[in-house]
Amino acid sequence: MERHSFWYRLDFIARQATPFLITITMVTLTQIPLKLPGITPVTLGLALVSVYYWALHQPDMLPAVGVFLIGLLQDLLSGTPIGLGAFSLLVGYGIVVSQRRFFHGKSFQVVWWGFAMTAVAVGLLRWLLVSLMEGRAVLFTPSLIEVLLTVTLYPLFGYMLVLVHRSLLREA
């Protein structure tokens, strides 16, 4: 394909938009609450999985502005205070970008461990901010379960993101 053709430019734009669109899809999927016996419905932090992955492997394909917009969409869809999701995803993004040299190119176990630490930090931050907004300590159990489920399912969603990432690189 000639570099200046319409189809080349369209392909380039589609490839560049893929991380953003995948993350939006994951935000939409997280709106399906998991109903576990004995606790309030919880959701998965799939947006954080995607933000972590792209911030680690291709931060230029999902810049901070995109993360902010995704967080606002998450807030609108979930009914959380506007800015909570945007702020927490940006904090997660900042953690990953600042530690990228340490985690990039390491074994999957090290990357997963990094995600677990990031998810715990973001989960605690969200819980603390919601508690401050409510003026009292809200239940911690749903936040803990969300973090544990998200960390547990990271390998599955991370693998899917690896497949997408490889296809973007292979056909570029």
Model confidence pLDDT, tens digit, residues 59-71: 999 999 999 999 9
Q: Which residues pair with 42 in a beta bridge?
A: 34
How far is Cα 97 from Cα 61, in angstroms, rounded to an integer? 13
Asked if residue 98 has pLDDT above 80, the reply is yes
Q: For residue range 104-151, list pLDDT tens digits in order.
A: 889 999 999 999 999 999 999 999 999 999 999 998 988 999 999 999
Best CA proximity match to 48, nearest among 163, 131, 166, 157: 157
**Angle in degrees, 0-180, between the axes of helices 108-134 and 84-98, rounded to the nearest 10:** 150
Prediction pTM value: 0.90
- What fold is seen in the domain 6-170? Arp2/3 complex 21 kDa subunit ARPC3 (1.10.1760)
Mean pLDDT taken over the chain: 90
